[in-house]
Structure 1
Amino acid sequence: MKEIDHYKRFQSPYIVHLIDSQVAQQCDGSKTVYVLLPYFPLGSLRDSTSRNLLNGTFISEAECIRILIGIARGLRCLHDPSARSQDTEQNQEQDVVSMSYSDEAALLLEDTPLELDILSSANTINSNLYAHRDIKPSNILFSSDGLPVISDLGSCSKADLSINTHMQLTELQTWVSDHCTVAYTAPELLHVTLNRSIDTKVDIWSLGCTCYFMLFGISPFEREEQISGASLKYAIGTGNFSFPSQDRYSTRLLNLIKKCLQVDPAARPDINELLTLLQELQES
């Protein structure tokens, strides 16, 4: 049900919207949640990149930047509370139906665990900030007019997470294993340590990996695994990766990927800084 809450909370043209939802009580006492989301006939970013690979074609730098800006605008809605009202105003013209929970639905779910304690507001520093935590090519869909749309908010949760106990550490490791895709997951989530905070910068890392995939058809650390033989998690932990030899894409775009894939989260740009960099690239 947290996923449904997120679909209703983030009203942005760059985030998939909820059409309807329902909670059903089953005969055996279990509960089933039904969620109705839009259909995206153009498929996902993974689909379009796979088609390019099959056809021996490549995405243009301009198109890559356009898609990245759209994804970044969706992430800004999650990361920056001040941006949500702006996105809501832009989205008012869209036909969005968002079903409120009925009293009956609330009763059905009152004894259902909705999320791990580690991701609850008690363990977060700022409950207004959210992170998606599973940005990857298959979770970026295209609307009928080609707009990139972030999907699958099942992994979305409150950001600025503080890890202070071994129980929290274990819970987070289990959650990451269940909800995140290793090849696109930031090192601070894969190699969790005590007495540290995890924030929205995990999505910046994932966006850098997604950009790399758009250009080369493989994530940077899966390619590193193929080249060096190092395990995927080890490669991510060291942050070592390289670019294939090519002359299609500018050094500025490749440098932007490098900025996103800094092992130290503090060295990565935040979402507003990244949007500025992308817009400068688009205008150059």
Structure 2
Amino acid sequence: MNSLGWAIIFKMGCLCTKESININGTKYIVLDHIAQGGFSLIDLVENSITRKRYALKRITCYSIDDQNIGMREIEICRKINHENVVQVVDYVLKGSADIVINTTSQLYMVLPYYKNGSLQDHLNIRARTKDFMPEAQVLQLFLGICEGVKALHDAKPEPLAHRDLKTANICLTDTFEPVIVDLGSATEARVQICGQQDAQRLQELAEERCSIVYRAPELFSVQSYCMIDERTDIWSLGCVLYAMCFFKCPFDPIYEKGDSVALAVLSGNIHFPEDSAYTHDLQDLVLFMMRLNPMERPFIYSVIEKAQDLVSKLESRV
């Protein structure tokens, strides 16, 4: 057989051996690898019948605790029925995790596929040519993110906190609406810390699951007796708004230089570029959210109100 014949056979073999996954009777074909996180893999998949594309999140569970965390993410996604928070299309748990006998399980979550990628992807493209978003567009996007955060903070019976809000965890729909994704770190927002053991446990959890440059100061050095609440997200939201304006969050340069992010965050100093194209009002909104003392930080309602006031102010100038 000539080389062309072999090439055709190898190509056909490749097409025929594409991985497929059955989830509750629906077959999904794996098309591409999208991303890899600390606890999961995300692939681009296609429904074999409808040809509609989705993102498939795979979580390898090494213990019952891992399974519970994954199932908790699904539970939260389904509880928060809001257009600015990701929804789970379908899921299945395969296998049984048991750390004693060294077996694992796989949790598969079918999620919407956002072809525009994340807000971070969008900012990276703009950063190459220093293409700053107009302030009105920044505020419009930001208010959509705030509505998603509000849906989490308004959850019943207890408020929820995302605890890993960042530009990479905000996807953009076809109409450029923001959607908060990756609720794997989401948890009950209000935690009463009673003693050093509680403080150490929360601090270790934050180190494991909250991105360092977006992490609220109270999670770097958890006090032995304190209340942690949903305003951890408000600090992160301030970092997100800063990044929307200047392509990076305030502490990215510190991290990139290898300096201590913890010291930088706990200093509470937020620096804005001198040649900023944005109004002082927008910078004040960032500072309003990034108050070092969490008890002085606003709740999401006040953030939305202040952002809406800025939109009205901009519109009145037109």
TM-score normalised by structure 1 residue count: 0.80
Return the match for 1:47 from 117, 121, 145: 121
Go from structure 1 to structure 2 and tell me whether the alpha carbon gap of 1:154 and 1:247 turns closer, same or farther (over 3 Å shift).
Answer: closer
Distance 1:154 1:142 in 2: 19
Distance 1:131 1:247 in 2: 31
Q: What does residue 91 of structure 1 align with?
A: none
Distance 1:26 1:153 in 2: 23
Code of the aligned partner of 2:120: R
For the residue of structure 1 that corresponds to 2:291, the secondary structure is: coil
Return the match for 2:160 from 130, 134, 146: 130
Return the match for 1:270 from 267, 276, 299: 299
Query: Over the residues paired in the alignment, what is the CA RMSD in angstroms?
Result: 1.9
Q: What does residue 140 of structure 2 align with?
A: 66
Distance 1:75 1:220 in 2: 21
Contact 1:184–1:209, Cα closer than 8 Å, also in 2: yes
Q: What does residue 245 of structure 1 align with?
A: 274
Count of residues in correspondence between the two structures: 239
Q: What does residue 255 of structure 1 align with?
A: 284
Distance 1:24 1:60 in 2: 47
Q: What does residue 116 of structure 1 align with?
A: none
1:215-235, Cα deviation, whole Å (9 max, x unpaired) = 1122112346679x8521101
Distance 1:78 1:26 in 2: 30
Q: Within 5 A, what are the aligned runs for 1:19-30?
A: 19-25=89-95, 29-30=103-104
Q: Within 5 A, what are the aligned runs for 1:55-204?
A: 55-81=129-155, 128-204=158-234
1:214 is aligned to 2:288: no
Code of the aligned partner of 2:135: E
Code of the aligned partner of 2:133: I
Instruction: List gaps (5 residues or longer) in structure 2.
Output: 1-70, 314-318
- Percent identity between matched residues is 32
Pick which of 211-220 and 130-139 moved more. Answer: 211-220
Go from structure 1 to structure 2 and tell me whether the alpha carbon gap of 1:243 and 1:223 turns closer, same or farther (over 3 Å shift).
Answer: farther
Go from structure 1 to structure 2 and tell me whether the alpha carbon gap of 1:138 and 1:225 turns closer, same or farther (over 3 Å shift).
Answer: closer
For the residue of structure 1 that corresponds to 2:93, the secondary structure is: strand
Q: What does residue 121 of structure 1 align with?
A: none
Task: Name the structure where helix makes up a greater proportion of residues.
Answer: 1
Deviation at 1:193, TM superposition (A): 1.1
Contact 2:84–2:178, Cα closer than 8 Å, also in 1: yes
Q: What does residue 114 of structure 1 align with?
A: none
Q: Which has the higher contact order (CA 8 A, sep 6+)?
A: 1
1:120-142, Cα deviation, whole Å (9 max, x unpaired) = xxxxxxx5111001000000100
Contact 1:259–1:267, Cα closer than 8 Å, also in 2: no
1:41-89, Cα deviation, whole Å (9 max, x unpaired) = 011110011000112311111111011100100011111248xxxxxxx
Code of the aligned partner of 1:149: V
Task: Name the structure where strand makes up a greater proportion of residues.
Answer: 2
Contact 1:163–1:197, Cα closer than 8 Å, also in 2: yes
Q: What does residue 78 of structure 2 align with?
A: 8
Deviation at 1:29, TM superposition (A): 4.6
Q: What does residue 115 of structure 1 align with?
A: none
Deviation at 1:178, TM superposition (A): 1.2
Distance 1:212 1:192 in 2: 25
Deviation at 1:167, TM superposition (A): 2.2
Go from structure 1 to structure 2 and tell me whether the alpha carbon gap of 1:247 and 1:176 turns closer, same or farther (over 3 Å shift).
Answer: closer
Distance 1:187 1:62 in 2: 29
Contact 1:225–1:235, Cα closer than 8 Å, also in 2: no
